[in-house]
Amino acid sequence: MKSALFSLLLFFCVLGFNSFAQDKQPEPIGGVEAILKNVVYPQSAKEANIQGKVLIKAIIDEKGNVAETEVINGIQKDCDQAAVNAIKKTKFTPATKDGKPVKAEVVIPIMFKLS
């Protein structure tokens, strides 16, 4: 992808909160690649040999925009911010409930790994 020095693993875990109940979960437009292309492995993390998984909780609104983000489990502030920035730059198809777009909460893990 952007660099042979790292690989990223992304997948979604929808949290089952009643206030965010849905029939279909949000998905990034363009697939996982849409997020991957926005992730930049921070130089400071490369130099410090920082690797690991960053967990980001994101609220996707009814229009598919990332309304809020929160780092649930970080590894280093620059990697955490790189993960948040990549997710915020991504447009999603909204979740649906009874065929109508609804707000949804997802957890997106991003793996930073030096090769």
pLDDT in tens, 9-50: 434 443 333 345 568 999 999 998 999 899 999 999 999 999
Q: What's the pLDDT score for residue 8? A: 40
Whole-angstrom distance, CA of residue 59 vs CA of residue 34: 17
Q: What's the pLDDT score for residue 2? A: 39
Share of the chain above pLDDT 90, in %: 75
Q: What is the pTM of this model?
A: 0.82
Domains of the chain, first to last: 6-114 (3.30.2420.10)
What contacts 113, CB < 8 A, 6 or more positions away? 6, 7, 8, 51
Instruction: Give yes or no for residue 73 having a pLDDT over 80.
Output: yes
Instruction: Return the DSSP state at 38.
Output: T
Average pLDDT across the chain, whole number: 85
